[in-house]
Amino acid sequence: MPTVCPTCDAQVVLPAGTELSEIISCPECQTQLAVKAVGDEPQVEPAPAIEEDWGE
Amino acid sequence: MTRLGLLHSTIRGEEKLLLQAARERSVEIELIDIRDQLLNPDIFQLNFAVALERSVSTTKGNYAVQFLESQSVPVVNSSRVAAICADKFLTSLALAKNGVPTPQFAMVFSLEQAVAATEQLGGYPVIVKPALGSWGRLLSKVNDIDALETLIEHKEVLGGPAQKAFYLQQYVPKPGRDIRAFVIGGQTIGAIYRSSSHWITNTARGGTASNCPLSKELENICRQSSQAVGGGVLAIDVFETDDGLSVNEVNHTMEFKNSEAPTKVSISGAIIEYCLEVAQGSTQR
């Protein structure tokens, strides 16, 4: 079942093997989305912005 | 069966490779999104024998590691290793103290001292980096005193406290590439060249990865570097200079998803197996 991009309302289908908290791109507007739920009722939300302490 | 806690925030390609490697080895993984945790020792449920810290946020990751260690859970990497590697000045100090070849460096807190340090480091260009930072962000190659004055003024006016500690490093000309070596428990398991026409060669900034054959010199300097920062799972960035290899930085939550293909090494598998060794107490962290 697809979910909806919170930015452009496009339908977003999670690729097979998608994990919780993975970052994907909306196929329509390319917004980075964080996966909040997988399975029968997938959910996405805008991905968090990069912060100063992010990295390796 | 050993249960491994994987501390994470966003799941990157690296974490997916680690999950796959764990499944292939029948290692049970507990995914722990640190953003959802309540790190209170009175209520936190410990269901794993060892933890692997993979948070993209250094600050949150370090707190989570400190918390788990306080509960007697071994963590890869340890808080000691993380504290050194997260800070470029502390890394440079550890490398220098242990006799590992590394570019000359200095920490200063004013423009006047930055000018003096630049002269001591061999003059311009000089590299100015945030001591805390990654992915090649906010690196500055300062070509003259005018640029140095401007950079320091901007940091002093616009930056937070951490940006007002100026880490300076000798500029090292590179042959269009540097080396990233993947080192686990002191052993170099693979390495890539990071090639770019830009002086910043991070793959996060567009550098391309290709296999770097291992040499005794590379393995030796990586072993020394690992010992200097406390061991563990490390990505060590190395310059090739006319005087031999020189260690630039050491990373403690390394990214490697684009390095398994060119090296033909299962870096993710090696990390999982190292975590199991740590859990069994059979390895020096």
Q: What is the predicted ipTM?
A: 0.85
Q: Residue B283 has what pLDDT?
A: 64
Tokens in use for B46? 């410990």
Q: Which member of A21, A52, A56 has the closest CB to residue B9?
A: A21
Cross-chain Cβ contact B31/A20 below 8 Å: yes
Nearest residue on chain B to A22, alpha-carbon basis: B11
Shortest distance, CA B233 to any CA of chain A (angstroms): 12
| B54 located within any domain | no
For position B152, which CATH number holds? 3.30.1490.20
Per DSSP, the three-state class of A36 is strand
Q: H or E stretch including B108?
A: strand B105-108
Number of alpha helices (DSSP H) and beta strands (DSSP E) in chain B: 9, 13
Q: Residue B282 has what pLDDT?
A: 63
| B160 located within any domain | yes
Domain with B236 in it = 177-264
Distance CA B80, CA B230 (A): 7
Nearest residue on chain A to B13, alpha-carbon basis: A22
Phi then psi for residue B222, to 5 deg, are: -70, -40
For chain B, the average pLDDT equals 96
Of B126, B141, B170, the one marking the end of a domain is B170
Work out the average pLDDT over B101-122. Answer: 98
Number of domains in chain B: 2
Of B152, B170, B188, the one marking the end of a domain is B170
Residue A37: strand pairing partners: A43
Q: CB-based contacts of B204: which residues, under 8 Å, 6+ apart?
A: B134, B135, B136, B255
Do B123 and B161 lie in one domain? The reply is yes
Shortest distance, CA B178 to any CA of chain A (angstroms): 17
| B269 located within any domain | no
Nearest residue on chain A to B233, alpha-carbon basis: A56
Do B181 and B164 lie in one domain? The reply is no
Q: Which member of A20, A35, A56 has the closest CB to residue B251?
A: A56
Cross-chain Cβ contact B15/A19 below 8 Å: yes
Do B113 and B154 lie in one domain? The reply is yes
Residue B192 has pLDDT above 70, yes or no: yes
| B231 located within any domain | yes
| Chain B contact for A39 (CB, 8 A cutoff) | no
